[in-house]
A = this chain, B = another copy of it.
């Protein structure tokens, strides 16, 4: 080990966002600088920011990018004794020699490690289509992307935007652009927006999107982009050409596991880095956390790659505990997701019909319309809940909620029930909070569970 500058072990973290910095911070909490040196390599200029806040930055709900940053590199260095090198991209990992090679402001470097955390996040899907690299076409994955979109809107005041892909990020960006007074067209390959919902629930989101003033076109395949002087002027689909001043791509992400794969680490069937419950990879002393990994789905019992800051934080914490000699395990996911678009709250957890079918379940469903408050209470608004349960056992498999204010966070009850493997007949008995400003006397979740219990 002649490379070590001294005898303290060194942790290198590749990736300075949620997963990586949670691991670094947790390791530091357990081991002081006298026991562990920590170096974080981050490709971009920022650390530990809320990627979920990017649409609100673009829509000017949030005024500056700094508000989205939880801790900047200087704070990590000063308060936590964690060295952070931004604008430094790891290019290779040599597992035998225990070094990470990277390119940064000072050129190529080789950083030796005793312990390694890979937290390289996700990469947005980009279509390989004519014109896809024109100016004015944006992905929105990093805070840098968000800053670029916002600057483009501020400086060029586009009048028409096309959002390609009606998933979470696509619709959140659509809302943000509507807020900026831009005409927005959303193009989606599937039959309804929000492909993680069943189409009957997605339809409610389409209604809200149109009500908010967006054009929504389902079942559209984008075939290319037109441009003038290198700047996008239209999106071409199999049916029609949509002129526009800017394009936002919201086509989802995949685990950014290329670095790990090249190093020879085991990659799972989802394309994410394979890890055990302690977030250990297939190589000794190498951990991984965040959007780049795949984890256990508690309902399907299959590996799942779900890009979400909440998981990244938990996984990073687990990795940081374990690599510093403790014991912690990541409990898996149930597939919970939540957003608000155009005044409609959209939530899902567990498996949708397609996922449940793929996982081999035979199931029944029930959809209930209710209200977010007692019917007579001012502000009571529509709320629709759909539940899926396994036939015979009645075990809850998943749930979807679409409704106005006060609807979405109810998904937590479903997520907690799923986590515990509850059957819908028992769910219907639960003692949930009731008061007229919060719920009808029969809580919508209980009604839905009861109806479904009568069908399984």
A302 to chain B, nearest CB (A): 15
The yes or no answer to A68 lying at the interface (CB within 8 A) is yes
The yes or no answer to A443 lying at the interface (CB within 8 A) is yes
A434 near B309: Cβ-Cβ < 8 Å:
yes
* Pick from B62, B345, B376, B438: contact of A376, CB under 8 Å: B62
B residues near A367, Cβ cutoff 8 Å: none
> Bound complex: CA of A61 vs CA of B413, how far in Å?
29
Each complex incorporates copies of this chain amounting to 2
Binary CB contact string for chain A from 49 to 80 against chain B (1 if under 8 A, 0 otherwise): 01011001000011000011000000000000
Binary CB contact string for chain A from 420 to 432 against chain B (1 if under 8 A, 0 otherwise): 1010001001111
A77 to chain B, nearest CB (A): 22
The yes or no answer to A308 lying at the interface (CB within 8 A) is yes
> Bound complex: CA of A432 vs CA of B347, how far in Å?
10
CB-CB contacts below 8 Å: A364-394 with B: 374, 376-378
* Pick from B18, B406, B412, B432: contact of A310, CB under 8 Å: B432
A370 to chain B, nearest CB (A): 14
The yes or no answer to A340 lying at the interface (CB within 8 A) is yes
The yes or no answer to A416 lying at the interface (CB within 8 A) is yes
B439 near A334: Cβ-Cβ < 8 Å:
no
The yes or no answer to A333 lying at the interface (CB within 8 A) is yes
The yes or no answer to A436 lying at the interface (CB within 8 A) is yes
A255 to chain B, nearest CB (A): 18
> Bound complex: CA of A399 vs CA of B443, how far in Å?
20
CB-CB contacts below 8 Å: A276-328 with B: 308-311, 313-314
Chain B, residue nearest A172 (CB): B435
> Bound complex: CA of A437 vs CA of B441, how far in Å?
26
B429 near A330: Cβ-Cβ < 8 Å:
yes
The yes or no answer to A203 lying at the interface (CB within 8 A) is no
* A residues lining the B interface (CB < 8 Å): 18, 50, 52-53, 56, 61-62, 67-68, 308-311, 313-314, 330-340, 345, 347, 349, 374, 376-378, 406, 408-413, 415-417, 419-420, 422, 426, 429-439, 441-443, 445
